[in-house]
């Protein structure tokens, strides 16, 4: 039972444009959500997180939106840069419990 889903395995955008990565979840107990960035043969790097009491959190070029009623969150990267090319994982937890990861989305930003 995949509780966190990233339905797009890949996404390709032009440099300077917006990248939108999507994530859906099924467990209504999740109340904390995170996005990680991962390069091949490396561990994930934390990007940004959001608590369920918020619907938006922004950090520089990265913004995460949470729609609790739809059980959907998205990561917006603007403007996208070639160095953003990586696999992006969303993860969810209910506090005090473990992280559940999505399958990941490979983002490619073309110069």
Partner 1 sequence: GAVVSQHPSWVICKSGTSVKIECRSLDFQATTMFWYRQFPKQSLMLMATSNEGSKATYEQGVEKDKFLINHASLTLSTLTVTSAHPEDSSFYICSASEQTTTDTQYFGPGTRLTVL
Q: Please state the closest distance from residue 43 (CB atom) to partner 1, in A.
A: 3
Determine the length of the chain: 111
Q: Which two tokens stand for residue 82?
A: 């070639």
Q: Which of 28, 27, 1, 13 is nearest to 75 (CA)?
A: 13
Q: Which of positions 38-97 make contact with partner 1 (CB under 8 A)?
A: 41-46, 49, 89, 93, 95-97
To partner 1, the closest distance from the beta carbon of 104 in angstroms equals: 6
| CA–CA separation, 2 and 17 (whole Å) | 31
> Would you tell me which residues interact with partner 1 (CB under 8 A)?
4, 9, 32, 36, 41-46, 49, 89, 93, 95-104
């Amino acid at each position: 039972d995949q509780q966190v889903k990233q339905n797009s395995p890949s996404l390709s955008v032009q440099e300077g444009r917006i990248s939108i990565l999507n994530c859906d979840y099924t467990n209504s107990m999740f109340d904390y959500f995170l996005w990680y960035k991962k390069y091949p043969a490396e561990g994930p790097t934390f990007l940004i997180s959001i608590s369920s009491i918020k619907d938006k959190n922004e950090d520089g070029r990265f913004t995460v939106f949470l729609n609790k009623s739809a059980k959907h969150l998205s990561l917006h990267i603007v403007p996208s840069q070639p160095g953003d090319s990586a696999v992006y994982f969303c993860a969810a937890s209910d506090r005090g419990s473990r992280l559940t990861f999505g399958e990941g989305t490979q983002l490619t930003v073309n110069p």
